[in-house]
């Protein structure tokens, strides 16, 4: 398996190459030169596998330059019982006949990012050791990515993490999980701005080829394909578990109209940066029979607007709202570049021209592709508000006793609203509700569970950050001063 850039100016590279580099050398994002296809027979042969064993089968299709024996050790370590609380790693909870919750928050930082980051925390040190290299990971977080990355890489040899986060725009638990770490290889940098400012700084540094090479800069945000690759696994896992009780004919959706309500499976994904749902898109392209991919946004509904109208207009910093689902307070979805590149097929030049127009004019008109969004890719979208989140958290607790975090509530709100979608809907959970205590308390009032002793202890720990202006030069200086010498 080789990887190429969305912008067409990077020589084909191996999985290990793109794993360490993150962003493509021409400033684009890396994508597989070909998407592997999975037959129904092969998919069914995976039905009895554990989550780690399923991950081995799927990741091995992408990480073809890592020996199978080594990859098995990496993945079994990443998804061990010591790191994920649920015996099945990703449990499914049926809320009613139509809606099922996919539990992606059983990892060490209580968020879905752990499922990809724990893999990166094992595979990246492996590749670095093989190549006798060091790596300085530069990332941006709107909430959960930072803590997941730092917990995956803390204390790892040959790796330092420089994580940018927006000052005052994360929950108390998210801040505590990141800022309480005192490992020498972890650097928390609080930027005076929003997530997009942090992400732009990451791109500026990555586009400085000389600086990037000299200081061995890499990335673990969802622009790193290694993370997307690991996320594909739980789409297959969730679909397999949701269809365990169906007949082979029902699983392939070759059924009568009366049976469609049980056989068709759609997946709702709370989305801000388009990374999680892009993994689902790849799973569908590989042959997983997902009926609809339902993209749920919050009030920062740029992606919803794009898939409804075909016009993509990222918001300015000033127009990006601060909401109660803060990890989705993103105005420019980095991973959308991968999807848009796919729309243009073999015409790389046309894509580059359009993407350049986005940078220069602030908007991109892709209305010509609008019919393909649903017909070919099965993507439908909707958005949620703070009032929707509060009502969904409250009503779900009253109906089922299940408490969901505000991002998951966005997904549930949209899933329950889209009555025209046939069949069942799996809603991807994004985090444990404890990470967003203020919103949960607003929704549940006196019925809000008390914080656990472990959570109280976490919140009481001293926190360490470096505050910085929105300045690439200031960031460069800090990296130069604190980064280990590149090998």
| 149/139 Cα distance (integer angstroms) | 9
Asked about 113 being catalytic, the answer comes back as: yes
How many domains are contained in the chain? Answer: 1
Q: What angle do CA 14, 119, 151 make, to 5 degrees?
A: 130
Residues paired with 296 in a beta bridge: 270, 382
Q: Using the 8-state DSSP alphabet, how is residue 468 labeled?
A: E
Tell whether 219 is covered by a domain. Answer: no
Q: Is 473 exposed, middle or buried (0-12, 13-18, 19+ CB in 10 A)?
A: exposed
Q: Which residues contact 242 (CB under 8 A, 6 or more apart)?
A: 92, 100, 265, 424, 426
How many whole angstroms separate alpha carbon 108 and alpha carbon 53? 20
Which residue in 452, 290, 305 sits closest to 377, CA to CA? 290
Q: Classify 182 as helix, strand or coil.
A: coil
**Nearest one of 85, 103, 86, 83 to 94, comparing CA atoms:** 103
Query: Sign of the C-alpha dihedral, residues 55, 108, 113, 412?
Result: positive
Question: Can you tell me the distance from the alpha carbon of 420 to that of 382, in angstroms, rounded to the nearest whole number?
Answer: 13
Instruction: Name the residue among 309, 356, 362 with its Cα closest to residue 332.
Output: 362
CA distance 90 to 84: 9
**pLDDT of amino acid 483:** 83
- Residue 400: CB atoms within 10 A of its CB come to 15
In whole angstroms, how far apart are CA 50 and each of 45, 47, 216, 316?
12, 9, 36, 44
Q: DSSP 3-state assignment of 326?
A: helix
Q: For every one of its 487 residues, what pLDDT tens digit does the chain have, with 9 covering 90 and above?
A: 999 999 999 999 999 999 987 778 888 999 999 999 999 999 999 999 999 999 999 999 999 999 999 999 999 999 999 999 999 999 999 999 999 999 999 999 999 999 999 999 999 999 999 999 999 999 888 777 888 999 999 999 889 999 999 988 888 888 999 999 999 999 999 999 988 899 889 889 988 889 988 999 887 877 889 999 999 999 999 999 999 988 777 776 555 565 666 789 999 999 988 999 999 999 999 999 999 999 999 999 999 999 999 999 999 878 889 899 988 888 889 899 999 999 999 999 999 999 999 989 999 999 999 999 999 999 999 999 999 999 999 999 999 999 999 999 999 999 999 999 999 999 999 999 998 889 999 999 999 998 888 889 999 999 989 999 999 999 999 999 998 766 6
Residue 145, domain member (yes or no): no
Q: What single DSSP character describes residue 431?
A: B
- Residue 240 located in a structural domain: yes
484 belongs to a structural domain: no
* CA 51/CA 86 separation, integer angstroms: 11
* Residue 440, domain member (yes or no): yes
Output the six-digit token pair for 345.
């097929």
Strand-pairing partners, residue 111, are 431
Cβ-proximal residues to 200 (8 Å cutoff; 6+ apart), any chain: none
Domain range for 305 is 92-108+228-447
Q: How far apart are CA 364 and CA 216, in angstroms?
A: 33
Query: Which H or E run contains 52?
Result: helix 51-59
CB 395 within 8 A of CB 82: no
User: In the chain, what is the straight-line distance between the N-terminal and C-terminal CA atoms, in Å?
Assistant: 26
Under a CB-based contact definition with an 8 Å cutoff, are residues 100 and 94 in contact? yes
457 within some domain: no
Which among 73, 94, 113, 203 is annotated as catalytic?
113
> What's 377's domain CATH number?
3.40.50.1100
Residue 249 belongs to some domain of the structure: yes
Cα–Cα distance, 142 to 429 (Å, whole number): 17
CA distance to 142, 184, 436, per residue, from 192 (Å): 13, 24, 22
DSSP string, 84-142: -SSTTSS-EEE-SSSEEEE----STTSBTHHHHHHHHHHHHHHHHHHHT--EEEEEE-S
**What is the model's pTM?**
0.92
33 located within any domain: no
Our CA angle for 272, 155, 221, nearest 5°, is: 15
Backbone angles phi, psi at 403, to 5 degrees: -105, 130
């Amino acid at each position: 398996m080789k990887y190429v850039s969305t912008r067409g100016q990077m020589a084909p590279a191996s999985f290990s190459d793109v794993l360490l580099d993150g962003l493509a050398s021409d400033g684009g994002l890396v994508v597989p030169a070909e998407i592997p296809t999975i037959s129904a027979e092969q998919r069914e042969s995976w039905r009895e596998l554990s989550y780690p064993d399923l991950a081995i089968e799927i990741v091995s299709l992408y990480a073809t330059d890592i020996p199978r024996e080594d990859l098995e050790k990496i993945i079994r370590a990443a998804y061990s019982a010591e790191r994920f609380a649920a015996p099945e790693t990703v449990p499914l909870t049926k809320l009613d006949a139509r809606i099922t919750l996919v539990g992606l928050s059983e990892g060490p930082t209580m968020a879905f990012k752990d499922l990809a980051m724990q893999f990166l925390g094992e595979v990246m040190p492996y590749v670095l050791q093989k190549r006798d290299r060091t790596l300085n990971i530069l990332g941006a977080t709107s909430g959960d990515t930072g803590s997941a990355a730092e917990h995956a890489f803390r204390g790892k040899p040959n790796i330092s993490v420089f994580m940018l986060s927006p000052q005052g725009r994360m929950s108390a638990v998210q801040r505590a999980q990141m800022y309480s770490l005192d490992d020498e290889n972890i650097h928390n940098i609080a930027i005076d701005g929003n997530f997009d400012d942090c992400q732009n700084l990451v791109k500026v540094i990555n586009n400085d080829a000389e600086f990037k090479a000299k200081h061995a800069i890499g990335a673990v945000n969802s622009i790193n394909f290694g993370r997307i690759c690991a996320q594909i696994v739980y789409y297959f896992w969730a679909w397999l578990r949701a269809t365990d009780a169906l007949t082979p004919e029902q699983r392939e959706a070759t059924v009568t109209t009366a049976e469609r309500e049980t056989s068709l499976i759609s997946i709702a994904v709370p989305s801000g940066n388009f990374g999680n749902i892009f993994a689902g898109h790849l799973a569908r392209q590989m042959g997983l029979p997902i009926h609809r991919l339902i993209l749920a946004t919050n009030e920062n509904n740029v992606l919803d607007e794009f898939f409804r109208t075909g016009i993509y207009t990222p918001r300015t910093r000033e127009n990006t709202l601060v909401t109660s689902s803060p990890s989705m307070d993103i105005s420019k979805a980095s991973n959308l570049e991968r999807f848009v590149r796919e729309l243009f097929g073999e015409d790389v030049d046309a894509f580059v021209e359009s993407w350049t127009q986005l940078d220069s004019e602030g908007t991109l008109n892709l209305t010509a592709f609008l019919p393909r969004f649903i017909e070919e890719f099965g993507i439908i979208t909707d958005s949620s508000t703070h009032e929707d989140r509060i009502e969904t958290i409250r009503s779900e607790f009253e109906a089922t006793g299940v408490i969901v975090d505000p991002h998951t509530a966005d997904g549930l709100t949209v899933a329950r609203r889209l009555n025209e979608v046939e069949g069942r809907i799996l809603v991807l959970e994004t985090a444990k509700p404890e990470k967003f205590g203020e919103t949960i308390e607003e929704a549940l009032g006196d019925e809000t569970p008390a914080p656990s002793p472990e959570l109280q202890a976490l919140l009481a720990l001293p926190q360490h950050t470096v505050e910085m202006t929105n300045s690439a030069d200031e960031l460069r200086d800090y990296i130069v001063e604190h980064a280990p010498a590149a090998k």
